[in-house]
């Protein structure tokens, strides 16, 4: 499968069933439903659940059943975004889910229309980071523990203070073993090398 959900056998049975149940929509309903899902993925609107309830009422659909379809569709499309799925790959995956050909065309049309804004949104979400304001660290040795093998083991405590987007600060505490610290350090060195390469 192209949508990043593993093989078809790995996909949750509920997701398989819900994707197939999308065949129950008329093309115009499906277009409206997909527009709702894809616009949420692009903007993450806080009024999304109200919009889902309104859609259910407008089309006479059981709200609880619609929310299951929403969940499965979000799982599917998030996987498609992570894998940068093309319209053709999207169609291939939908056929595996037993989505009818006319509905597959609606999916492809909506995906093509929303893809640019979805890609921009994903890039913005990926590049949003918290600025590090302060960092403190301490090495320690476990002097006493109810587990004998932990006595004498070395650890590192990190306190990170990061700026929140809306102002204020978040404090993050980490406690790492020496092995975890070296792995973390190696990852940070790889990130720094990547950033240096991209900015240089």
| pLDDT at res. 179 | 85
Give the pLDDT score at 124: 65
120 CB-side CA count, 13 A: 7
Note the pLDDT of residue 88. 87
Same domain, 148 and 110: no
Exposed e or buried b per residue across 118-137, where buried means at least 16 C-beta atoms within 10 angstroms of its C-beta: beebbeeeeeeeeeeeeeee
Give how many domains the chain has, as a whole number. Answer: 2
- 46 plus 99 within the same structural domain: yes
**96 lies in a domain?**
yes
Q: Are residues 30 and 122 in the same domain?
A: yes
For residue 25, tell me if it sits in a domain: yes
The pTM is what?
0.61
Angle, helices 101-127 vs 63-82, to 10°: value is 60
- Phi, psi dihedrals of residue 175, rounded to the nearest 5°: -125, 120
152 and 118 belong to one structural domain:
no
pLDDT at residue 82, as a whole number? 80
Mean pLDDT by 10-residue block, N- to C-terminus, for the chain (200 residues)?
67 87 91 92 83 90 89 88 84 90 93 84 65 86 74 84 81 84 84 69
Task: Return the number of other C-beta atoms located less than 10 Å from residue 48's C-beta.
Answer: 17
Of 127, 154, 184, which marks where a domain is finished? Answer: 127
Residue 2 lies in a domain: no
Q: Is residue 160 part of a domain?
A: yes
Q: Is residue 178 part of a domain?
A: yes
What pLDDT is attached to residue 7?
73
- Domain for residue 1, yes or no? no
Give the CATH number for residue 161: 3.10.450
> Cα–chain-centroid distance for residue 100?
27
Residues 6+ apart with CB under 8 A from 15: 5, 72, 75, 76
The two structure tokens encoding residue 135: 């960092």
Residue 32 sits in which domain range? 8-127
> For 20, what's the count of Cα atoms within 13 Å in the CB-facing half-sphere?
10
pLDDT given for residue 30 in this prediction: 92
Where a domain ends, among 127, 161, 188?
Answer: 127
> Of 96, 127, 158, which marks where a domain is finished?
127
Asked if residue 114 and residue 177 are part of one domain, the reply reads no
pLDDT of residue 128: 58
To which H or E segment does residue 174 belong?
A: strand 169-177
pLDDT given at position 164: 78
State whether 48 and 78 are in the same domain: yes
Task: Kindly state whether residues 20 and 62 are assigned to the same domain.
Answer: yes
Q: Are residues 70 and 26 in the same domain?
A: yes
């Amino acid at each position: 499968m192209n949508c990043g959900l593993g093989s078809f056998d790995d996909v949750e049975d509920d997701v398989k069933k819900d994707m197939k149940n999308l065949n129950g929509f008329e093309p115009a309903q499906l277009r409206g439903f997909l527009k709702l899902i894809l616009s949420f993925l692009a903007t993450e609107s806080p009024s999304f659940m109200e919009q889902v309830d309104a859609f259910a009422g407008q089309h006479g659909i059981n709200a609880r059943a619609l929310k299951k379809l929403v969940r499965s569709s979000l799982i599917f499309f998030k996987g498609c975004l992570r894998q940068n799925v093309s319209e053709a790959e999207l169609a291939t995956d939908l056929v595996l889910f037993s989505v009818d050909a006319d509905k597959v065309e609606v999916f492809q049309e909506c995906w093509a229309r929303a893809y640019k804004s979805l890609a921009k949104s994903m890039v913005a979400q990926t590049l949003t980071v918290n600025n590090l304001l302060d960092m403190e660290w301490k090495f320690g040795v476990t002097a006493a523990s109810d587990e004998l093998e932990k006595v004498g083991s070395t650890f590192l405590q990190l306190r990170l203070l990061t700026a929140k987007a809306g102002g204020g600060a978040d404090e993050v505490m980490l406690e790492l073993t020496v092995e975890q610290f070296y792995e973390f350090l190696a990852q940070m060195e790889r990130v720094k090398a990547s950033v240096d390469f991209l900015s240089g």
